[in-house]
Amino acid sequence: MMKPDISVTLCGIKMANPIVSASGTCGYGRELSQFYDLGVLGAFTVKSLTLEKRLGNPTPRIAECVSGILNSIGIQSQGVRHFLEHDLAFLKQYAVPIIVSISGTRVEDYPKLAGILDLEDGISAIEVNISCPNLEAGGCSFGSDPEIAGRVIELVKSSTKLPVIAKLTPNVSDITAIARSVEKNGADAISMINTLSGMAIDIYTQKPKLGNVFGGLSGPAIKPVAIKMVWDVYRAVRIPIIGMGGVMTWEDAIEFILAGATAVGVGTVLFRDPWVVFEIVDGIRTYLETRGIPGLDDIRGKVKLPVKRNGR
Amino acid sequence: MESSEEKKRDSSLHITATVVKNAPLCTGHYCLTLKNVLLAKRTQPGQFVNLRIHGRDDLLLRRPFSVATTRPAQSLFEIVYRVVGQGTKTMTELNRGEEVDLIGPLGTGFHLPKEPMNCLLLGGGVGVAPLWGLAAQLFKKKNKIIALLGFRSSDKVFGEEVFRKLRGETIVTTDDGSYGLKGFVSDHLEKVLNRPIDRAYVCGPMPMLKVVLPMIRRANVKGEVSLEERMGCGYGVCLSCVANIAKEGRIEKLRICTEGPVFSIEDVVLDDEA
């Protein structure tokens, strides 16, 4: 039987497989590297970097919900300089494309961060986090307005030669409007979705379960929302999508690809099982192999609809 | 067939342990005895394991438990858990011979004194359990043990015999006075601290820590405390379980799962001290 090709190319980044670690769920690589060679991943996305050091939000920062988790970390970060001095060289030892996520509280933070990263070797792309639900200022608010989202991407594009990936929030009424705007302003790819805004209350203490009152929901609970949004955006833009939201298994990854994703992010599942990446990658390969499908291009966006609908 | 990527994988922290015993200790508390040679050998007092709840894929997060004791010769280790939610409730149904999936040992444990000294072990509720293994190590190194253990009421008392067996002076308090001395451990701590204590080891709920840590600092006793917080991953990537720790004159948010759970008492800055 022929060996299927599970490699993908996403805005010029050649990935051995479509599985990307989601920003904020894998730090800067040191912790996962005690479990496996990071080259097992198709690409590694670092936790969002900020210009200055940030302490993040008060604890508790995480609460389990039914088939999901709420988090409000608030981008605890040592800042971009610390990353460049302490972490980038470590990550570069591995044969894995590095995607660097950036986050700001002001629009002008983003081009500044992009400009700093542009001077470095070994970074494959910049992911622009305009969708963090846990920042007091900025974050999600930039990603909720098509005009501001487009403006941030335009500024980042003018500050770097690196491919630029826009990370979108699902907490909007029409995600395709945001997607079209970032594409128009030069985004090379889209990653989606960030967490869904949520809240949980402990009925015994009558207090919110998170120190910051509300947070972002991730995990299998949000997967159908993410699949639908990826499918919508796939038909609305021409740039590739890194689809994510509740991926736990290889079956979930295939589902995202059928909805239109080029690559697939894994995040929350790593908290429970950091080694699951092996099973997901093997499962994707086997799925193609047993069906005689040569590569992922042959199934991308190919969900079989019951009635004829407008294609891409 | 082993895939080509398998050689890139290090699963030595991914442990399958066999249930040897899962029995109630007192009201709402269980002791789970597990068998795994690597874990029993490697785990230091104060380290923890992150346990996946068997058959409950809807519970996304593992549950972290301090390792209470290890018996390396028999490949055994014990964890003590309080039944508080769906995860721990499901754990009560574990039977002898079943397997559990865990990651460990994780975190930074207690540090033993370089030479024998008088050690105060201060535990509250389920926080008494991690002090078991510590007490055994301290005893082995010829330290003198004074254990001050607090519980809510007589039906919640467990584990005092562990310290007595190690020739430790053992003082038990209950909030309602239904067993041992009446009151919180903090009500009886002053008296103990007036005696020659060289080192304190503490594990218990936050309200207890808020009272006892300042008392220990005022008495100029050095020591360590094991902290607890809601955890996500347990291995350092998610930054959920942070604590305020003084480092070179500044407060840093350090990870309880990685830099902790055990921290030096003088460095810990509790929320209302920040």
d(Cα B168, Cα B131) in Å, to the nearest integer? 12
d(Cα A46, Cα A27) in Å, to the nearest integer? 6
Q: Give me the catalytic one of A11, A26, A132, A140.
A: A132
Angstrom distances, CA of residue B206 to CA of A63, B88, B198, B227: 18, 20, 23, 8
* Structural contact between residues A179 and A146, judged by C-beta atoms closer than 8 angstroms: no
Residue with structure tokens 């789970």? Answer: B32
Tally of domains in chain B = 3
Supply the pLDDT for residue A309.
Answer: 62
pTM: 0.94
Q: Is residue B129 situated within a structural domain? A: yes
- B54 in contact with A at a CB cutoff of 8 Å? no
Of B5, B6, B61, the CB nearest to A272: B61
Q: Is residue B88 situated within a structural domain? A: yes
Whether B144 and B241 map to the same domain: the answer is no
pLDDT digits (tens, 9 = 90+) for A138-152: 666 899 999 999 999
Supply the pLDDT for residue B5.
Answer: 59
Whether B176 and B234 map to the same domain: the answer is no
Count how many pairs of residues, chain A against chain B, have C-beta atoms within 8 Å: 110
Strand partners, B173: B150, B181
d(Cα B201, Cα B221) in Å, to the nearest integer? 10
Q: What residues in chain A have per-residue pLDDT under 70?
A: 1, 136-140, 308-312
- CA R_g for chain A: 18
Q: Measured between alpha carbons, how far apart are the two ends of chain B, in Å?
A: 55
CB atoms within 10 A of CB B176: 11
* Token pair recorded at residue A153: 């991407």
CATH assignment of the domain containing B244:
2.10.240.10
pLDDT digits (tens, 9 = 90+) for B60-73: 999 999 999 999 99
Whether B100 and B150 map to the same domain: the answer is no
- CA R_g for chain B: 19
Whether B147 and B117 map to the same domain: the answer is yes
Q: Which of A35, A19, A73, A59 is nearest to A272 (CA)?
A: A35
pLDDT confidence of B14, banded at 50, 70, 90?
A: very high
pLDDT digits (tens, 9 = 90+) for B217-261: 999 999 999 999 999 999 999 999 999 999 988 999 999 999 999
Whether B125 and B153 map to the same domain: the answer is yes
Supply the pLDDT for residue B2.
Answer: 44
Whether B83 and B115 map to the same domain: the answer is no
Q: Is residue B249 situated within a structural domain? A: yes
DSSP for A124-153 reads -EEEEE---TT-SSSTHHHHTSHHHHHHHH
Q: Is residue B247 situated within a structural domain? A: yes
Distance from CA of B167 to the nearest CA of A (A): 39
Whether B99 and B116 map to the same domain: the answer is no
Q: Is residue B7 situated within a structural domain? A: no
Residue type at position A227: I
d(Cα A25, Cα A167) in Å, to the nearest integer? 15
Q: Is the dihedral of CA A13, A19, A25, A30 positive or negative?
A: negative
* Token pair recorded at residue A26: 């894998």
Write the CATH number of the domain with boundaries A8-298: 3.20.20.70
* Token pair recorded at residue A222: 């949000």
Instruction: Using DSSP, state whether A13 is helix, strand or coil.
Output: strand
Of B13, B236, B240, the CB nearest to A61: B240
Angstrom distances, CA of residue B77 to CA of A83, B20, B44, B70, B124: 39, 10, 11, 4, 21
Strand partners, A44: A21, A98
Supply the pLDDT for residue A133.
Answer: 74
Contacts of A271 in chain B (CB under 8 A): 60-62, 232-234, 237-238
d(Cα A248, Cα B46) in Å, to the nearest integer? 31
Contacts of A282 in chain B (CB under 8 A): 3, 5
Q: Which of B79, B83, B98, B73 is nearest to B32 (CA)?
A: B79
Q: Is residue B5 situated within a structural domain? A: no
**Predicted complex ipTM:** 0.93
**Domain residues for B32?**
12-106
Where exactly are the structural domains of chain A?
Answer: 8-298
d(Cα B103, Cα B233) in Å, to the nearest integer? 10
Of B59, B229, B271, the CB nearest to A64: B59
Q: Is residue B3 situated within a structural domain? A: no
CB atoms within 10 A of CB A153: 25
Supply the pLDDT for residue B265.
Answer: 98
d(Cα B87, Cα B83) in Å, to the nearest integer? 8
pLDDT confidence of B3, banded at 50, 70, 90?
A: low
* Token pair recorded at residue A96: 């894995």
Contacts of A222 in chain B (CB under 8 A): none
Strand partners, B199: B119, B222
d(Cα A78, Cα A39) in Å, to the nearest integer? 25
Cis peptide before B105 (omega within 30 of 0): yes
Helix (H) or strand (E) run with residue B247 in it: strand B242-247
Supply the pLDDT for residue A226.
Answer: 98
Whether B220 and B249 map to the same domain: the answer is no
CB atoms within 10 A of CB A121: 6
Residue partners of A177: CB distance under 8 A and separation at least 6? A146
pLDDT digits (tens, 9 = 90+) for B151-180: 999 999 999 999 999 998 999 999 999 999
* Structural contact between residues B242 and B256, judged by C-beta atoms closer than 8 angstroms: yes
Domain boundary among B55, B76, B106: B106
Q: Is residue B206 situated within a structural domain? A: yes
* Structural contact between residues A118 and A106, judged by C-beta atoms closer than 8 angstroms: no
Supply the pLDDT for residue B271.
Answer: 78
Task: Indicate the burial class of B27 (C-beta count within 10 angstroms; 0-12, 13-18, 19 or more).
Answer: middle
CATH assignment of the domain containing B147:
3.40.50.80
* Token pair recorded at residue A86: 């302490």
Angstrom distances, CA of residue A179 to CA of A28, A145, A149, A195, B156: 27, 11, 9, 16, 57
Contacts of A26 in chain B (CB under 8 A): 237
Catalytic site includes residue A140: no
